[in-house]
Structure 1
Amino acid sequence: MNRIFFRFFLLVMLSITAATFVIYFAMSRLFGDPLDEIARRQASAQIFLIEQYVDEAPTDEWLVRLNRVREVSDTRFDLIMVNKARSLLPATSLDALDRGEVVLDVDGKAFFRRVDLKGERYIGSEMEVIYAQDLPIDIGLALQMEVVRYVIVALALLLPILLWSRSHWQGLQTLSRVADEFGAGKLSARARMQPSASIYPLAERIDHMADRIEDLLVSQKTLLHSVSHELRTPIARLEFALELLGAKAGDPALKKRIAAMEGDLSELNTLVNELLGMARLESGQALQLELVDLAALLGTVEAALPPGAAVLSIDCANDAGPVAADPRKLGRALSNLLRNAQKYAAGTIHVTARRDGARVTIAVEDDGPGIPEEERERVFEPFYRLDRSRDRATGGFGLGLSIVRKAVQLHGGSVHVERSALGGARFVVSLPTSPLPAARA
């Protein structure tokens, strides 16, 4: 955010600087060089002496008056030939010299002027030029005056721009904070700006959008939780009825049919449990934090796994635990990762736990087919399943990994998937040893 306003002020300063040069060159083109005019004012006394005192003398006294001026003036007045004067002046000033005008040499602190154009002062005067040197011209002071003038103009422009930008900057900082909080799961975050704020229309629309999103998410969670709870009762009734029906059935074909129905019902019951688990994680319940021995937790999770063909090995470093966590939620996340590995592992599952500074890293990897790179982020989305998992052999509803990410995020951690050295997928969970304050609520 600060970068945006820094660039804005840099652009304003560059624009003011460019405008200064444009104004200077435009004024020089239309009305003459401003510095030349300043120098002419500073040399006005010497010019006045030549034009109003020396030039007003009778013809035979012109040189006499010039010598008097030389005696009393600190300026050096010399008579030089026209050709020499031409060699000392730029080409742009030669026409003015030929017209008999006073031509200033600002850098040399001097001016040139033809004695006269017709030779009326004395013999050969039409070929000579008055060359006045050591004029009291101080361009440095003039430049300082111009700089001060433009600085005042720049400040006069920048001050209202600063005040205007400051209100925008504060408003955008507020919107940025609201966006961060809303994105972190605090759905009640709002800007709540006053109508007089410069970006009130934008803030109002963002607040309305946030209200709508919060209502939709709350409605979705409520519906999911309610439907999941309501499904438990008919599922329990169906299980009881199928159990009674199976006990009375004598036909083997009927028993086989009932067994298939019980399998479908068990799958539906598992889905309801997964949905309820997801609803609990998203309900914003506080974590029940305690110091958890990571090695013991991994051992408990391993013992609760269903039998599988893959060989599971756990390598937990001595300094990996304990960690401050909710053992039930963290255990659920690790259990889902291990069950997912069981589904796809060809024969090996390897779990490692290491401490890295203030964080603990848990990695679960297998030697299965792995996950394509373009799918590695999407596997954490609810109900998303890879094509190869859409069969009854692997099962699953696409909620297990979503629950893993939600549980880890509640602890202030993160989870991602990469390629394993074993050839399959490697799920990496990174947890702070002490959960962030935001993860406690």
Structure 2
Amino acid sequence: MLKLLLSLYVAVFTSIVIINQVSEAIWTHWVHSAPDELRHAKTIAHTLKSSISPNSLPKESDTIKILDMDDVAWLPEQASTLKQGGILTSFDDTGSAWLTFKIPESTLLLQLGPLAPATSATNKQWLIKLLSYAVLAFLLMLWIRPLWLDLLQLRYITECLAQGQVPKTTRRSRFSAISNLTEQIYHLASQVARLIDNQKLLVNAVSHDLRTPLARLKFALAMLPENSREQGNDMADDVLEMEAMIDEMLAYARLEFEVKKLELIPLSLNELVQDQISKLSKLTDKQVSFQGSCDEIILLANPHYLSRAIQNIVQNADKYGNSAIMIRTESDKKYAYIQVEDDGNGIPKSQWESVFVPFSRLDASRSKGGGGYGLGLAIVRKIATWHKGSCHVGCSTELGGAKFTFILPLAHRTSSYSGTNAKLE
């Protein structure tokens, strides 16, 4: 950071010095050296004033006039200038200039004119300013360009990392102030990408390789004699639990690959939720209430994974609720909201984020004994992120338990849906 600030300071300081010197040179040789009749006449007036006397006055003409100082009503400042021997510049109605000075040792005045006034240098002044700003911007662009190229490299590295790919070798700029940072981030991103690949391979390999010994174990348990059947049934339950956990791990690991080929189509949210409620009503004895939006809510989503996310939230409410589940859909101008509430014990505020961490189980009521492996809500959040949405948990104000809110962006919103509220017993 110090290198970046110092290089910027040196670039700006050097640019300003160069621009000032060049601007002064241009102003001196282009503006002040330009032909100027009035300035030239002032030089002649000074020479003439030093060589003239009352006895050697020039003859009057169209350009030279001799008059008495008392014949003109001079302003006090003008009279003071003339008495002190200065050269007075005045202008007539046509804009022409007259040079007036007092002849030494007399009250006579000598006027030279009319002289064309000096042309305005305003346009030249603005032109020089614009050129100066343009040069400053160009010099700063030369300083920024290597920095910009390195920033593009950083964007490329992060895009590769987001896709789980190892970024290709980057080209550092020798003149960039963050070239070392770019190189360090490149090595870091490469290492992270390799770790992600290794993690995926490890999970898949372990999950698949465990299936073979589990299948042998199930076969061995099925061949146990009748007197060991009770103990064998307990062991068989453990095997089934392990299989379910492996399936959950495989599903979670597979999500990392599926995001690259995710296909999104327009979906009706109310129909999708009602389909999950219909499935749940066949498996639970809890009271399930559904409050659907009066307007049809259309999402651009993947039906398989969005159904999986809604199913996980609803099953979570069924698992930890006591007797009632409330499901609600609504939307605003930009987003659709799926709210699932239960009347269970709820989740402490300090653990609201922990429930979305893979393999996280909060306490005995939300443990493996309840059938959970800590991956269901992690899958929900990952699917929400794929759809550029979010999922968070809070407290239910109506039922007193947990309240999960699933937020997704809308594709469009119409008013053709006729469904209102539905209640499943």
Specify if TM > 0.5: yes
Equivalent position SS for 1:351: strand
Q: Map 1:4-403; keep pairs closer than 5 Å.
A: 43-57=38-52, 59-61=53-55, 64-65=57-58, 68=59, 71-73=62-64, 84-85=76-77, 121-122=104-105, 136-138=116-118, 141-162=120-141, 165=144, 168-169=147-148, 172-173=151-152, 175-176=154-155, 179=158, 181-182=159-160, 185-188=162-165, 190=167, 194=171, 203-241=182-220, 247-249=226-228, 264-284=238-258, 286-287=261-262, 294=272, 297-299=275-277, 301-303=279-281, 305=283, 307=284, 310-316=286-292, 320=296, 327-353=303-329, 361-372=337-348, 375-387=351-363, 391=367, 394=370, 396-403=372-379
Task: Letter of the 1:234 partner, please give it.
Answer: P
Give the conservation status (yes or no) of the 8 Å contact 1:408–1:415.
yes
Give the conservation status (yes or no) of the 8 Å contact 1:368–1:425.
no
Partner of 1:426: 404
Deviation at 1:312, TM superposition (A): 1.9
Deviation at 1:385, TM superposition (A): 3.5
Task: Letter of the 2:127 partner, please give it.
Answer: V
How far apart, CA to CA, are the structure 1 residues paired with 2:348 and 2:109?
91
Equivalent position SS for 1:55: helix
How far apart, CA to CA, are the structure 2 residues paired with 1:278 and 1:81?
102
How far apart, CA to CA, are the structure 2 residues paired with 1:205 and 1:192?
12
Cα deviations by residue, 1:136-164 (Å, 9 ceiling, x for unpaired): 443x6223333323333333333343455
Deviation at 1:211, TM superposition (A): 2.3
**CA shift in 2, pair 1:239/1:232, >3 Å:** same
Moved more, 264-273 or 396-405: 264-273
How far apart, CA to CA, are the structure 2 residues paired with 1:43 and 1:324?
78
Deviation at 1:221, TM superposition (A): 0.8
Deviation at 1:230, TM superposition (A): 2.0
Cα deviations by residue, 1:39-97 (Å, 9 ceiling, x for unpaired): 9965333323433234313x3325x33xx4675249999678999338878xxxx9xx9
Task: Letter of the 2:155 partner, please give it.
Answer: S
Task: Letter of the 2:375 partner, please give it.
Answer: L
Residue segments in structure 1 that go unaligned for 5+ positions in a row: 1-7, 28-32, 116-120, 435-441
Partner of 2:382: 406
Residue segments in structure 2 that go unaligned for 5+ positions in a row: 1-7, 413-425
How far apart, CA to CA, are the structure 2 residues paired with 1:165 and 1:77?
68
Give the conservation status (yes or no) of the 8 Å contact 2:146–2:173.
no
How far apart, CA to CA, are the structure 2 residues paired with 1:241 and 1:174?
57
Cα deviations by residue, 1:189-227 (Å, 9 ceiling, x for unpaired): 747655568656655544433322221101001101111
Say which structure, 1 or 2, has more relative contact order (CA 8 Å, 6+ apart).
Answer: 2
How far apart, CA to CA, are the structure 1 residues paired with 2:347 and 2:68?
95
Give the conservation status (yes or no) of the 8 Å contact 1:320–1:360.
no
The normalised TM-score by structure 2 is: 0.66
RMSD: 5.2
Give the conservation status (yes or no) of the 8 Å contact 1:389–1:395.
no
Deviation at 1:37, TM superposition (A): 7.4
Q: Report percent identity of matched pairs.
A: 27
